[in-house]
Structure 1
């Protein structure tokens, strides 16, 4: 007999052999025992969790001549015929390759015939979400009112892709991911029966790599057994799966913490030359950062982190060198890299650049990087506050950072003057050249804009923006001028007349106060900017604000 893959050889034959999924097993066994067989079932869940296996067991159980407590006996002629695929009353259809309307119509034409040997004719439709819209519509009526001798079992990994009309006609069962401990227990049993010694740490690595899919774990075990060794070690699993070990990942994180670019590039080169999968490495690095974050925030990380004691000790040391903000920024950055790797032609370059960005937060323009840099600034400010400031001579003078507004202040009065006197608010001034701008629009043939801007005023808001003030009865004119294409025309004309590039904002009369002696209330400063200015002042460092 030809070789049979382990996942097929060890496919459960009865409900009791199914790993986990107790909530589904209990319901289906009770349905068989009481004879409460529905006409349509929907099995949902990720790959390798037992959907098709459960469908096959259930198809035998409802047709078995002598079921035992809801389980098929697998000894009667019906069970043996279904197992050997000699009985044609259990039909398994792959919807991915049979997804047309004609395929579903053939099913609809066949269901009217009674089963040849079994009690029920069972249709197992795998990956049912792959059916076309027309095929779903053709299936609706048959699924709603099938003949009493027909049972449909639909299996899918993406139930959200199914029409609501299909979902409402089925009994739905959601299959859970299988836990690491259950996968370890199962593959250890399989390895013993296969006369192969599987190390416990190798079994846990296989289980973690499978990500809740028992079939993937058994397939990886089968591949490891194919090495021909009587013992499967942790290193064997690493080489077969093409992934890096925790020590290598920890070394990479140490290099990032130390901002050692040369070490990072050296480790990436080792990763590539050993033929490791970059996507797997990035996924493992994200998971490692997650464990470091747990070590930093959880009171007892050993109860949560699934790693060896040596690895957890190293994570506890590493978390002391990293802030929560930096860890979260790294997870966010690497997760984006992981999703982008499949689309790039040079994944190595993308990985190297991303790791360099983690070393230097200034290269990252995201909000997380800003928070990290503020945290660093707070540390510097705290250090500066702890150092006593030097005594200044009475005639020491302070100079403003702006040459235009610089003025001398005696040192004895500097601090009290800065606290007592608030910053002066700028007054909004009229633009004398505004009439020339309006006439420029008229001369260029922009009569619609010209007519809507007659009677308006222009004010200087700041170095870049000017505001067009419309009267209370000019709401329609303001709406016309505020259109994007019209703003571009006005900005071009204003920039030409004023001799500098400007941006336009359309305002109502009640929105502003001009320089008639009243001051306009300045908008409240952004909390992040206020914090940055305060910290820069304490640390006595310049603050550069880049408006992007």
Structure 2
């Protein structure tokens, strides 16, 4: 028989073999034991975590007449036929290559017929998110009212692309990334069964490189076995995965921390010449730096093999690099990692990275230390400075006892205005004012209702940038203004043209018409909104008020009329405009406004209009 890859040979055949997904397997087993089998299931999660394997096990279990405790027997003719893929009643479809309406209509038509051998006809549709819109629509009715003998099992790695109408008609099970310890234990079990020797550090490295996917881990293990003549060593695992050893990373970090740019560049060129992957170089550095932070808090928290391979060297490096420096290095590494995805010359970026890391301390400490190094103050100057400060303190104390504010002078210079952080990205006020001119409360409510669906349509990185501290604050039929609580996130998103285009494209799908998106920082939004209301006092003529130039009759109102004015609570057209724009977010502070006919006081009333958010 031809050779089979490890992940095929060791594919789980029972729920007990599906490691790392205990919640999913226990729920499915209980449903089989109590005979509460649903007509449709949706398995979601990262690649290589057991979705398709669980679907095949479930297909065997529902059709096995000898199952025990919810597990298929794997001995009867039905189980063996499903395992071999020759049972016609279990149909596995790849939606990536069969994503048209005709294929789904064919499934819908054939689903009406009863199974030939098994008790249930099971359709396993892998990568279901690849189906077209028409194909999803063709599947809807069948999912909602399927024949009693049909079960649909849908599997996908990108559940955000599956329509909500499909998800709501299925039982959803989320498969999580498998823990590193669980992957290592599974590989140890397999290698012991195969009677192959191994290094524990090598298995930990493979598990880290697999990033939570059991299939990826077994594929890498297969390569290491082929490379190393049936023996799994750390050196072979490093070579196959393109990872760096802990010793190399330690030397590199010591070099850049000491400002030895030449040594750092030599290490980079040596590793690249040996065939190391540039992306893996940065990933290994990030993992190493993360474990430095964790090890300082508690040695048991450091999970990678770097911390366990040479604990003494690891602990010594912690003493040389403080946490602040580690944070700065991680920031630089993250930026360069993003740039590597769009370049064909990664070696250039690694060289630039090395120079940045080596000069990081000079960049941070240089400007602050420069003045002191240029001219150290003389003892006489220090004495004069101390006397001046003592006089200022005495003046402040005297002013505090007398209850009066200190006079303007040297003492007043002690007060310093707190620095304010200003965003570097320019806000397009013209476009935002255009949105406000057409904005309504209903449009804002509509946008807020679909904002969560929009976030689910984005990928993980984009969703993370928009998930925290953002919300729509104004909307027109063709545009929306989104506020950011954190200036740093606003700057990153405002510069990301790809993210803006993706958000607008997804909004177009959800809203049914083209939508433009404009971003503003939360700290600037109240002032932008207030300035717009002051510059556009719409509704004066509608309310019957005369213009400021025609106000003599209003100014000559009788005392009785004036005294009755507070009870009448006349409507401010600016308040109406604010309510029309922002809805229930508006609060009116009547205590700061007085009824008067002058345009100046009308502006003061605007200051009493507050909006929440």
The bucket for the TM-score relative to the shorter chain is 0.5 to 0.7
Deviation at 1:475, TM superposition (A): 4.9
Q: Secondary structure at the match of 2:295?
A: helix
Q: Secondary structure at the match of 1:143?
A: helix
Seen in structure 2, the aligned counterparts of structure 1 residues 476 and 107 have a Cα distance that, compared at 3 Å, is closer
Is 1:390 aligned to 2:379, yes or no?
A: yes
Seen in structure 2, the aligned counterparts of structure 1 residues 63 and 319 have a Cα distance that, compared at 3 Å, is same
Is 1:64 aligned to 2:61, yes or no?
A: no
Q: Secondary structure at the match of 1:320?
A: helix
Aligned ranges 1:488-503 → 2 under 5 Å: none
What's the counterpart of residue 348 of structure 1? 347
TM-score, normalised by the number of residues in structure 1: 0.68
Q: Secondary structure at the match of 2:134?
A: helix
Seen in structure 2, the aligned counterparts of structure 1 residues 108 and 260 have a Cα distance that, compared at 3 Å, is same
Deviation at 1:311, TM superposition (A): 3.8
Higher helix content, 1 or 2 = 2
Unaligned runs of 5+ in 2: 393-408, 417-533, 538-598, 602-613
CA distance in 2, matches of 1:97, 1:44: 19
Q: Secondary structure at the match of 1:358?
A: helix
Unaligned runs of 5+ in 1: 365-371, 399-410, 426-473, 478-507, 511-548
Give the count of matched residue pairs.
405
Deviation at 1:359, TM superposition (A): 2.3
Deviation at 1:303, TM superposition (A): 3.7
What's the counterpart of residue 249 of structure 1? 249
Aligned ranges 1:126-525 → 2 under 5 Å: 126-227=126-227, 229-296=229-296, 298=297, 300-307=298-305, 308-309=307-308, 311-361=310-360, 372-373=364-365, 377=368, 389-391=378-380, 419-420=410-411, 422=413, 475=535
What's the counterpart of residue 12 of structure 2? 12
Seen in structure 2, the aligned counterparts of structure 1 residues 416 and 162 have a Cα distance that, compared at 3 Å, is same
Deviation at 1:226, TM superposition (A): 1.1
Seen in structure 2, the aligned counterparts of structure 1 residues 213 and 416 have a Cα distance that, compared at 3 Å, is same
CA RMSD across the alignment = 3.3
Deviation at 1:79, TM superposition (A): 1.1
Contact 2:246 2:309 in 1 (8 A): no
After superposition, give the CA deviation of every residue in 1:159-186 in whole Å (9 maximum; x if it has no partner): 1221111111111111122122221121
Farther-moved stretch of structure 1 (28-37 vs 302-311): 302-311
What's the counterpart of residue 89 of structure 2? 89
TM-score, normalised by the number of residues in structure 2: 0.61
CA distance in 1, matches of 2:203, 2:389: 70
Contact 2:204 2:304 in 1 (8 A): no
Larger radius of gyration: 1
After superposition, give the CA deviation of every residue in 1:1-49 in whole Å (9 maximum; x if it has no partner): 1111111011111111111211111111111122211000011111111
Seen in structure 2, the aligned counterparts of structure 1 residues 40 and 245 have a Cα distance that, compared at 3 Å, is same
Contact 1:196 1:225 in 2 (8 A): no
Contact 2:238 2:244 in 1 (8 A): yes
CA distance in 2, matches of 1:65, 1:424: 84
CA distance in 2, matches of 1:393, 1:345: 57
What's the counterpart of residue 55 of structure 2? 55
Deviation at 1:331, TM superposition (A): 1.2
Deviation at 1:423, TM superposition (A): 9.3
Deviation at 1:248, TM superposition (A): 0.9
Deviation at 1:193, TM superposition (A): 2.4
List, as ranges, runs of 4+ consecutive aligned residues in structure 1 with deviation greater than 4 Å.
378-381, 411-418, 474-477
After superposition, give the CA deviation of every residue in 1:129-178 in whole Å (9 maximum; x if it has no partner): 11122211111111111111110101111112211111111111111221
Deviation at 1:247, TM superposition (A): 1.2
CA distance in 1, matches of 2:295, 2:370: 22
Deviation at 1:204, TM superposition (A): 1.4
Deviation at 1:380, TM superposition (A): 9.3
Farther-moved stretch of structure 1 (99-108 vs 226-235): 226-235
After superposition, give the CA deviation of every residue in 1:382-412 in whole Å (9 maximum; x if it has no partner): x99xx99523599x9x9xxxxxxxxxxxx98
CA distance in 2, matches of 1:220, 1:325: 36
After superposition, give the CA deviation of every residue in 1:38-84 in whole Å (9 maximum; x if it has no partner): 00001111111111111101100000121111111111111122122
After superposition, give the CA deviation of every residue in 1:304-329 in whole Å (9 maximum; x if it has no partner): 44334464433433333434333222
CA distance in 2, matches of 1:167, 1:421: 65
Q: Secondary structure at the match of 1:236?
A: helix
Contact 1:357 1:363 in 2 (8 A): no
CA distance in 1, matches of 2:387, 2:23: 78
Q: Secondary structure at the match of 1:226?
A: helix
Deviation at 1:257, TM superposition (A): 0.4
